[in-house]
Structure 1
């Protein structure tokens, strides 16, 4: 039964540097995830809440917009605003602690997903970071967990940009997301173990699991992200991209996040969270990570390749202590380490504030590019899938034959696109074109926009 007489546990600090809208959204989210608010509870109107807190309605509206985007609340016409989901089973609260490629050519404009805006890097800052990194003395023995200063910088980055409060000693440096999957498959999983993977999904992860002898089973994805109810029994892990599903571009709703965590705890499997471009969101603040909701069962993976460049070859992993220990033991036995050079450059970019400046510029640029592209396609009656986030969008198609036809047609007109077919581990059940907008210059994107629209406009309705 819905409760409408609840008292909200909100205390706003006007002396804090954190915006009031962010404080309010955090307080309401904590109340929902901690059990003070339950699914079906009715929240005050933005006007009433603003009056009770002594703030402007702009503050309460912004907080509600953020929570609505994350799926914690929903508005019902003529009725009010309601909490949509109940919290997961309580767990002790603690800080996380340790214990396509596709062949291109100079004659083609490649609009592919998974490509960063490397041209947006400030070259002066880039050179400065490499020079400073070179001043560090050569290592005698490489740190198996990664450079201490890198892990500290990543912990700060996660707290500031992803809302994950991870102690530096719980962070492991990796060579990127795929490399981290390889390590997990070799250290935590074993031959014959079963892992659920989003379908469609990231095929490099699928291949990494398979080469380790792990059996991959598909898990359905729709407009709300991965469907936990379709995860088969007996899995040892589930690999997913909840903040921005790859390649369809949806986000996992709050109710499904809770459902996934509940199943993981009840059935004893791990959730591997690929947060490949979680920093890149343009409608609201970046969505909270699963690891913040359930650090006991979630392995969080991140990478610098989408927000900076693959040149660094650097990523990170935050995991439960048992997983961290297993990965470190594997590294000792195999003699593998994440390269420290890229780590040191990241540290210097963060230390000088260049990383923060680049992220702000990156979000602004890609937001404008997405608006340009989505606006042109919508004006031509071409549907677009995916949240207002990341560096690609998807145009759904009627069939695999049509997908192949339009990919060939675009190539004839000098544009290299990506189809959904290659993102399925099994037989494709959806067809579409994934259009990336970060890898080329904005001028080039504008130059080929007319060709792109003309090609996609001829799809069968």
Structure 2
């Protein structure tokens, strides 16, 4: 039986693409093709050439034709042939190195010396060893069908792990069939309001009540989907739920009940109950953004609002704070009547959340390593927060710090009219951080207090002390 191309390639361990074209015999064409492969660098010095018979089988030519071409190139000094080591590209056959002309790099604006912006976990603390171990176990035990097209609802293994984890840690009441995996909170908003690919055919319609403070990126995303945001006043007890009664057209509200973003503090228990009552009376929905619910320090854990009424609350979470935003993994815990509608918008195949990452996260959770990582990071972030509070108490005791019982950031309350000057002073110190005003809804009513939103998770340990010193120098005097 004639030898196949696959058999030949497997034996010699080298694939070699040669186009035998041009005038003359097959030997002349092969010699010319080999010479060009050496000259243009495709065959590097020291590369071992396929045996005569293997290359002849691949190209469909006679063995003697290959032998003659090799011999000619050996005579030219491009190839070397030694007993026991085969034919190789000669060292001196390397093409001349191109002359590099120095090009002046365009001037780059230097980045900040210190980064105290909110929203980023400590990247250096990603559990690389645990993640790699979980990936090995997950891939090794995964069924064959896991390596086919992704299920838009998400892998069963991850949905089962999340249902158990969220029930135990956050008080969420759900079943795996009620969970849809997505690539994060923004992706969830797009599916609920904007549709797949921003088609505008999302699941929900109409105006949406939002907290007067939140991420501008989320407001822009909703605006692009044609959703009008109706701001609710935020005070020390969270969003003022009673204001929902003034907006008859509103049927859904987006809240951060565990830790209001960015002002801090949980939604008061009376307001949590009032929000659920409002959703029931209106036939509406609450969207619960549980963005950093695992990280609490000086108070008892606050359970998810979803546990009060699973059919009136969409619980939204991700691993962007607990692990890394690079993973692009999040989830929606949906009322039963929304599951099929969300999946219809998402499409027939998973386009965002990778299957292997889903399997790895499921293994990380079920093995208990995810819990251990969160507990470890909780202690680490609490120590960071305590250093921030201590530095302010020593160098700026007139500055009040709020929102520090949970999360990865704090709010520094400034004297009226000083926020802009403090941000400018911070920039002079090489310090990146956000002003409280940047998170305020443009249509929010009432006074706009001055403040700084300080993220204490991002800087590396060795630079954190210098970042705090720069912060204290930027603050307005008493």
What's the TM-score bracket when you normalise by the shorter of the two chains? 0.7 to 0.9
Indicate conservation of the 8 Å contact 1:312/1:343, yes or no: no
- Distance between the aligned counterparts of 1:156 and 1:320, measured in 2? 17
CA separation in 2, counterparts of 1:151 and 1:333?
A: 18
Matched with 1:54 is none
1:396: which partner in 2? 413
Contact 1:241/1:273 (CA < 8 Å) preserved in 2? yes
Task: Give 2:293's aligned residue.
Answer: 278
Q: CA RMSD in A?
A: 2.1
The residue that corresponds to 1:424 in the other structure is 440
The 5 Å alignment of 1:282-297 reads 282-297=297-312
Question: Do the aligned residues in 2 keep the contact of 1:312 with 1:341 (CA within 8 Å)?
Answer: no
Q: Please tell me whether residue 130 in structure 1 is matched to residue 135 in structure 2.
A: yes
Where in structure 2 are the equivalents of 1:61-460 lying within 5 Å?
A: 106-135=111-140, 136=142, 137=144, 139-185=147-193, 186=195, 187-190=202-205, 193-231=206-244, 232-332=247-347, 336=351, 338-379=353-394, 380-381=396-397, 382-399=399-416, 402-426=418-442, 429-456=448-475, 458-459=476-477
**1:229 and 1:262 mapped to 2: Cα distance?**
11
Aligned length: 354
1:337 positional shift: 5.2
Unaligned 5+ segments in structure 1 are 1-102
Deviations along 1:364-384, one digit per CA (max 9) or x if unpaired, are 111111111122213421111
Distance 1:350 1:105 in 2: 40
Whole-Å separation in 1 of the counterparts to 2:326 and 2:363: 15
Q: Give the deviation of 1:116 after TM superposition.
A: 1.0
Q: 1:409 to 1:291 in 2, by over 3 A?
A: same
Instruction: Decide which moves more: 370-379 or 251-260.
Output: 370-379
Q: Which whole-Å deviations, capped at 9, do the CAs of 1:396-450 have from their partners, x for residues lacking one?
A: 2234x52221112112112111112221230672321000011112332122222
The SS at the match of 2:401 is: coil
Shift of 1:204: 2.5
**Matches of 1:206 and 1:153 in 2, distance apart?**
31
User: What CA distance in whole angstroms lies between the structure 1 residues aligned with 2:286 and 2:443?
Assistant: 24
Map Cα deviations across residues 283-315 of structure 1 (whole Å, 9 max, x no partner). Answer: 234211100012121100001000000121001
| Offset from partner CA, 1:49-93 (integer Å, 9 cap, x none) | xxxxxxxxxxxxxxxxxxxxxxxxxxxxxxxxxxxxxxxxxxxxx
- DSSP-derived class of the 2:181 partner: strand
Write the distance in 1 (CA, Å) between the matches of 2:413 and 2:305: 28
Q: Is the 8 A contact 2:263 2:411 kept in 1?
A: yes
Q: Work out the CA distance in 1 between the residues paired with 2:350 and 2:378.
A: 38
CA distance in structure 1 between the partners assigned to 2:162 and 2:474 by the alignment: 42
CA apart distance, 1:117? 1.9
- Asked if the contact 2:118/2:409 (under 8 Å) is kept, the reply is yes
- Map Cα deviations across residues 192-218 of structure 1 (whole Å, 9 max, x no partner): x11011011122222222111111111
Give the whole-Å Cα distance in 2 for the aligned partners of 1:108 and 1:341: 36
Higher Rg of the two aligned structures: 2
- C-alpha contact 1:244 1:387 (8 A) present in aligned 2: no
Contact 2:149/2:349, CA 8 A, preserved across alignment: no
Partner Cα separation in structure 2 for residue 141 and residue 361 of structure 1:
36
Structure 2 gap ranges (5+):
1-107, 196-201
